[in-house]
Amino acid sequence: YITNAVRCCPPANRTPTPREQANCAPFLHADLDALRPLLIVPAGLVALRAAGLRYLGAAPISIRAVHAQVLQSPGGALVVPLLHPSRIARADTEVFIATMRPLVAQIASGSG
């Protein structure tokens, strides 16, 4: 399942405004509450803020500070923030893949 912090693309593909994000938050939260994911991978700062407030209690100010780190939510979901795909360099991708492989294996085995 893949979703976005906002349900529609802002004009000229700009970053969604806080109001647009707030308008869409109930839909995102309803989806996440229904799915109860074990792993959440917010791609970009907007997604991290949307997921972070819901699953981490607070959203980090900088995506780079938490890029590809495994964060544990109080509810048990793992949150692995990722730079927005438009910002990922090859080295960052390799770090992310190396981080995700054991997590995916752990979840697939039922022990995560």
CATH of the domain at 84: 3.40.470.10
pLDDT digits (tens, 9 = 90+) for 79-106: 888 888 777 666 667 777 887 788 788 7
Backbone angles phi, psi at 85, to 5 degrees: -50, -30
pLDDT digits (tens, 9 = 90+) for 39-81: 888 888 898 888 876 788 776 778 888 888 888 888 888 888 8
Is 23 within the bounds of a domain?
no
Q: Which residue has the tokens 């791609």?
A: 43
Beta-strand relationship, 71-72 and 78-79: antiparallel
Is 1 within the bounds of a domain?
no
Domain carrying residue 80 = 37-109
What pLDDT shows up at residue 1?
63
Q: How many domains does the chain have?
A: 1
Contact 23, 50 (CB under 8 A): no
